[in-house]
A and B are shown apart, each in its own frame.
Chain A
Amino acid sequence: MTGYLLRRVAQGIFVLLIVTLIVFGLLQLLPGGPARAVLGSRATPQLIAAFNQQNGLNRPIFVQYGVWLGHLLSGNLGWSYNQSQSVASLITERLPKTLALTITSVVLALLVGVIIGTIQAVRRNKLFDYTSTTIGFFFYSFPPFFLGLLLVILFAVDIHLLPAEASQSSSVWAILGDPRALVLPVLTLALGGVALFSRYMRSSVIDNLVQDYVRTAQSKGVGQVRLLMVHVLRNALLPIVTLIGLFLPVLLSGAVVVESVFNFPGMGLLFWNAATTRDYPTELGVTVLVGVLTVAGSLLADVLYAVLDPRVRYVRQ
C-alpha cells in the first residue's frame, strides 16, 4: 500500500509540473502583463521597464519559471502586487471557506444521489423513477450560474427565505456559523451532482440486483432491506467512488462561478478577481492548489475503492 501511494504521489507531482508549466506559458502569452495592470494604462515605458527589472519579469521565461518553481518548493507562492499580500496568505484565508462549500456540496450530493438512485433502481419504471429522472436531467442540464441566479430570485428576492449573499466574514467559522447563507451556494453546486450520482447509482444498483450473489443472499432468507444495505450497497458504490474522483475538478471549477454569483469569499472568487486584474502570482498559486486538490481527490477515491473492494486489495492466491 505504501509503495502504491508513493508511486501515485510521484505521478501527481509530475502532473502538477506539467499543469504549472502550461499555465505559466499561457499567462506569458497574454497581452499587457502585470506591470501595466499594477501601474495603470498610462504608465511610461520607463516605469514599466523598472517594474519588470525590479520583479525579474524581464528575464527569459524559463528562468522566471525556474525561479517561481524554486520559491514554490520552499513554500513561497509569490506576492500579489495587486493586493499587496503574499499569495500564500491569500490562499490560507480563502481555502477553508471553499473547502467548506465544496465538501458540504459533495457530501450532500452523494448522500441524496445514492439514496434517490437506490430507490429508483428498486422501483424501476414506476412513478418515482420517472419523476426523479426528469427532475434530475432538469438540474443537470442547468449551467450553475443560471441555476444560482434562479435560486436567488426564487428564495431570496421573491420569498425572502434565504440571504442572497454569503457571509463576508474572514473567518471560516463565521461562515459555517451562518448556515442559512450557505444553503443557496451549496444547493447550486450540489444539485447537478445529485443528478449525476443518482443516475449512476440507479444503473449500478440495477446491475447488481440481477447478480447471482443477490439470489444467493435471498436463498439464505435475507430480506429486502438487509439485501440492499448489506449486500448490494457496497458493490453498487464501487463505480460511484471512481465518479467522486472525477467530480472534484468539476466541483472546483463550479466553485469559481458559484462564488462569484453569491459573492462568496473563497478561492473561486479569488481566482476570478485575479484573472480579471492580471494578478499572475495569485492565479498561478490558485492553479497549483486546485491541481493538488484534484490529484489528492482522485488518489483518495482510489484508496476508498481499495477499501470497498477486496479484489483490488489482495493478491489472488
Chain B
Amino acid sequence: MRGEPSETVLEVSGLTTRFRRGSRTVTAVDSVSFSVLRGECVGLVGESGSGKSTVALSLTRLLPAGGRVEAGSVRLNGRDLLALDEAALRQIRGDEVGTVFQDPMSALNPTMTIGRQIMEPLRLHRHASSAQARARALEVLELCGVPRPTERLASYPHQLSGGLRQRVMIAIALACEPRLLIADEPTTALDVSIQAQILDLIEDLRERLSMAVILITHDLGVVATRTDRVMVMYAGRIVERAPTAELLGRLRHPYTEALIEAVPRLDRDRRQPLQAIPGHPPDPAQLPSGCAFQPRCRYAQAECTDVVPVLGGTTAGAAAPDGHEWSCLHPVDPMVDRTRAPRVAVTEPPPAPAPAPATATVADTAGPDAEEILVFERLSKSFTVSSGGVLPRPAQLRAVSDVSFAVRRGETFGLVGESGSGKTTIGRMAVALERPSDGRVLWDGEDMSRLRGRDLRGRRRDLQLVYQDPYAALDPRRTIGASIGEPLAIQRIGSRAQRRERVRELIHEVGLPPRALDSHPHDFSGGQRQRVGLARALALNPRLVVADEPVSALDVSVQAQILNLMRRLQERHSLTYVLISHDLSVVRYLSDRIGVMYLGKLVEVAPSEALFAQPAHPYTHGLMRAIPQPDAVAARSRAEIFGEPPSAISPPSGCRFRTRCPLAQELCAEVEPELRSFGPGHVAACHFPLVTPATADGGDR
C-alpha cells in the first residue's frame, strides 16, 4: 500500500440503504461497514442485486428516486457526508470524490462537448476561468491517455470509441484531483483489450495521485489482479472480506468459493463441468430467512435458516489477524490450497493429454476426421453505411472479409473477437439470416446463399440461433409456451395438442418449471429466459445451433448453469455448435476448435488446447493475457494490446492488426499475411508469429 498506511480516507459504518417499491420498502444495503486508506484500492464484488452499486451511490447520496440512506455514517477525512445537507454535499461531489460509471456512452451528455463536460467540475469547484479550466482539461485528458487532446475538447461523445469515452469519463472524475475515486463497473461495457488498458490507467493514476479507489465489479478476475483488499457482497451485506491474496488463497465463505468455481478459467481442465451455483441471486424484496445464501449453499445446515451470521468469523472465534472476516456458520476449510487446484499453465506447453472423462462427449467423437458439415468459402460481407448524418456519402463497411473455415459435425466451433470483428455477421450468415456479399456458405454440401423461399424455410429447421440478450429476445406479451412453440407452428409440425406436448417436453428439458408454459417472460430471471431461448432453438430438432454471446448478459453463477446446460444438450441431441463470444474463457470451456477474428479477418484457427498452449498470432496472445484470472498467484499482467481497433471502412493495409501489434514491422504494412500451418489443424495469419510455423505444410502460401 502506498502513502502513509494509517491515513484513512473513507470510513463507512453501518450503512443501510432502502428503496421504496410501491407500498413496501426494500433493504438494498444492510449495515455495511468498511474503510479505505490513502492510495489503496478496495474491490467490491458481487452479482446483480447484491447491493454493490447501491453502496457506491449511497456514499455521495446519488441514489435514484425512491432510494434513501436510512442509517450509518460515511466519513470522508473525518467529515460525515450523511450529515451534510444537499448544498454542502454538492461541494464534495466531483471535488473530493470522483465517480466513474459503467456505460461511458450513456454516462456522458450527448449534446455537450467533451471539453465542457471536463471543465464543468473545475468551473463549479475551483471557480476557474474559462482559460484555466481549458488548460486543466487538456492536462487531465493527456493524463488519461487520450490522443490529440486539443482536438478532443471540441468533440462530442458519439465521435469517440467506447474506450476513449471511458478515458474521458475518468478525466471528468479526476479533474479536481479527488481523494477518493469510485469506479462502478468501469470496464464492463468494454472489450477485454480495452478493459486492460483502462484498468492500467486507473492503477497508474492511483499511484501517481495517491488516491483511494473503490473498484466495483462483478468480475473476480478484475478484483484479483487490481485490488489490495476485497469485499464480497451478497444480498446487501458484506459476506467476506480480506486482503486480495488472502481471500483468493484461503477463502472461507461458501459463496466466495462458489463464485470462483463458477467462472470458466483458462487454466483449468475444460472437460470438467463448471460448478454452477443453483438458483439465482435473491430479490432483495424477498430474502430467504437466516443466511441469505443458505438456499443455494452446498454446506447449509438446519441452523443456517434461523441464524443470520455476523461478519467476523463466528465459528473461528476472532477474525484472522490480517483482517480476514467472513459471515458464515459453516465456513469452508481454509486448508484447501486453491493455488494447487488442477491447472494447465497458459504460456507453457500443455502436459500429456488429459485422460478421457467417464462420459465421452460428442466432441470426443468429433475428431479431425469428422465430416465438415458447415463450410465457409472465401466469405465476405459488406454493409453500405452512410458516412455522414446530413450529407451522407455511402461507404462500404467490410464486416467480414475473405474468411474461410469449416465446422465439423458434432463439434463446437468457438468464434472469438472484440466488437466489430465480424463474428456476429458470420453467425448470421451461418443461419442464413444474412446473405454473403461474396463467397459461399455450404450447409451439408448445399449452398445456402442460393436457396430462396420454401426451400430456404425448410432448411432453416436445421439451423437455429440463440441470442445474446434474453430480455430483448422474447416477446414480452407472449407466453413462454407460445414463444417456444412458434417455430413448430410456422413449420406446421403436428397438431396443436402435439405441439403443446412438445413444448412441455422442451420446458422440462431445459430445466424450467412446468408453470412456464403459460407464464410471461417478466416472471423469469435472465438465466431462465436464456433457457427459454435454448428451448425455442431446440424446438425443431436442429442440427446446428449458433449461440451469439449466450451468457454475456448473465451473472457468473447463472452463466455456469447455462454453459453446463448447453453442453448437456449438445451431447443428448448430437448438436453442432457455433459459439460466438468476446470471452475467451467461455469459448474455451465449450469449444473444440476456436477461430480468432480481428476486424473482419480470421487471424488464427486452432484446436482449443493448442490455441491456449501456444498461440501463434500476437493478437490471440494479447487477448489471452488481457483476461484477468481470479487467481491468488496471478501476476498483475499489464495490457499488451494498445490503442483502439481501427475503422472497418478503411482498414489498415497489409496485416490489419499491425497498428496495434507489438511485433509489427514494415513488411506487415505492405503484405497481407496468409494463413500458415502451425501444427495439426492450427493455422494463423502472421508474418512474425510467436511460434515457428510447421515446415511440412508451410509452403502452401
Residue positions of A touching B, CB distance < 8 A: 1, 3-4, 210-213, 215-223, 230-231, 234-235, 306, 308-317
Contact = CB atoms under 8 A, between A and B. Distances in A.
A316 B102 CA distance: 22
A216 to B, nearest CB: 5
The 9 closest A-B pairs by CB, nearest first: A220-B94, A221-B94, A310-B156, A219-B99, A212-B106, A221-B93, A4-B390, A212-B107, A213-B109
Contacts of B513: none
B158 interface: yes
Given A221-B125, A312-B389, A316-B158, A215 B112 contact: no
Nearest to A124: B65
Interface of B: 60, 62, 64-65, 87, 90-95, 97-99, 101-103, 106-113, 120-121, 124-125, 156, 158-160, 169, 172-173, 387-391, 647
B106 A211 contact: yes
B90 A221 contact: yes
B374 to A, nearest CB: 34
Contacts of A313: 389-390
Given A3-B391, A220-B93, A231 B159 contact: no
B111 A216 contact: no
Contacts of A220: 93-94, 120-121, 124, 172
A149 B172 CA distance: 57
Nearest to A232: B109
Given A212-B101, A310-B156, A311-B389, A219 B93 contact: yes
Contacts of B91: 221
B696 to A, nearest CB: 45
A210 B108 CA distance: 13
Contacts, number: 102
Q: Which of B60, B62, B111 has the most CB of A within 10 A?
A: B111
A317 B98 CA distance: 29
A311 B159 CA distance: 8
B241 to A, nearest CB: 25
A210 to B, nearest CB: 7
Given A219-B93, A221-B93, A311 B172 contact: no
Given A219-B62, A316-B158, 16 more contacts: A210-B64, A212-B103, A215-B101, A216-B108, A218-B93, A219-B93, A221-B124, A222-B90, A223-B90, A230-B112, A306-B390, A309-B110, A312-B389, A314-B388, A315-B387, A316-B159
A3 B387 CA distance: 14
Interface on chain A toward B: helix, strand, loop, or mixed SS? helix
Nearest to A217: B109
B96 to A, nearest CB: 10
Given A221-B90, A311-B110, A317 B390 contact: no
A315 B388 contact: yes
Contacts of B94: 219-222
Given A218-B62, A219-B93, A311-B156, A213 B106 contact: yes
B389 A315 contact: yes
Contact of A311 (B125, B158, B173, B391): B158
22 contacts: A4-B391, A212-B103, A212-B106, A213-B109, A216-B107, A216-B172, A217-B109, A219-B93, A220-B120, A220-B121, A221-B90, A222-B120, A223-B90, A235-B109, A306-B390, A309-B111, A310-B110, A311-B389, A312-B390, A314-B159, A316-B158, A317-B160
Nearest to B124: A221
A34 to B, nearest CB: 45
A182 B64 CA distance: 46
Contacts of A235: 109-111
A107 to B, nearest CB: 22
Contacts of A316: 158-159
A114 to B, nearest CB: 16
A4 B393 CA distance: 11
A221 B92 contact: yes
A317 B158 CA distance: 9
Contacts of A231: 109, 112
Nearest to B391: A3
B627 to A, nearest CB: 27
A231 B87 CA distance: 18
A222 B95 CA distance: 11
Contacts of A315: 387-389
